Structure 1
């Protein structure tokens, strides 16, 4: 979303490029009294928040970016936190020199999308490792280490297999059969980066972990 004082322009980043989705124009012109401008700006932000919510729910969008010059993006984000905190928790702020379609293109060109995707991936992987550690220490619905993970896979107990990327690089022949086994028994496999602390923690545990559907025998 590229926003400035005059408009908010929505876009969706797809594999083939940027798809423009819609635009909302502000009518808060300088000719209005100050109280009227504030009222109109409030309606402007409310419309944007509502449209963001609709787009993210209908299209199942996991993360959003609000970018633009100056203060409008921060004011809009504050309103979003008030009205739709769940949407705000998945929204990131960025800076562009302009709004409109040119602002959308600048979001992509300046690498803001790539940074957001990387941050979201780190958050996702960290959450998985935290869940694994909790399962190991409290619930029993997680395990780690080659033999225990392999045993759980053979019993169809693995919901999600976690593999540190450094282990995959060093011992691909040993790890790939486990990845295939996870997929063939209805589980998911996630390669966890060791560039962040959670991935390093998994690596210290041998590089293999699993979230379980049930406790294996």
Structure 2
């Protein structure tokens, strides 16, 4: 992500998303009531009603809308921001419009009050736009799962299983076919996703054999691949590779690895009835006692509480005033899912309450 202009006195940020990870960041900073401006497309209001909407020519025009709906579609990586038009062609004022967020297209966001965590998210997105793209292949005998690592978690995964039957030459070298299929998907993903690094994870010798196969076919991959021992393949193997720090060694300050370790620490403390608590009421009580060392909240919970108009801002502010730290974690990755199951908010404590 790029920041083109920043004027917090006027509440204005002009940003340029550069990839789908930036869409997720934008999704989590824009709120109902914000003003969003972008170059967009709209059919003329005086078009002949007999012409079907899909047949009308749309005009490129800059519009500002007051946001009342934000929709992010995982399956298509589309971000749509809708609301009433507040600035633009006079005939359009007050009408409903949807802005489709696109890569490399500037978006202007105006808020009455930018919150600290929202600005931190933007700065993180700017820094992480320079990090390499990573593909993890978690393999065990007969099955492999490939998944790209994104800032908000693991992207779409593909699982390949070793088939049965004979090759065209009458042989039954299923492993060669298996490795060949992995290599095909690897090449396609590397080209379309601009992959810089590959983590090859799994138990036993299967990953070592795949490594030899891949660099034999494409010697330059040797500079991109790192191996990581895990107890299993599949999506579980990808999660384990992340927890073991494979991504950390590539992204030295990986948010994903930090979140996984943080939630593991939280769950360990909860399991032994140690210095941790969870759920809004219990966390609020701990804050009142000055016991919170680190408040942890998921993106979804933070957004929901803000929309409800609850006192979540006071909890965040009090934590900071007492020398504590606020951490917002992704709701889409496994650690965030675990925290959602605990109510979406928890805390590591200085002392038991």
TM-score normalised to the size of structure 1?
A: 0.48
* Structure number with higher helix proportion: 1
User: Which structure has the larger Rg over C-alpha atoms?
Assistant: 2
TM-score normalised to the size of structure 2?
A: 0.31
More relative contact order in 1 or in 2 (CA 8 Å, sep 6+)?
1
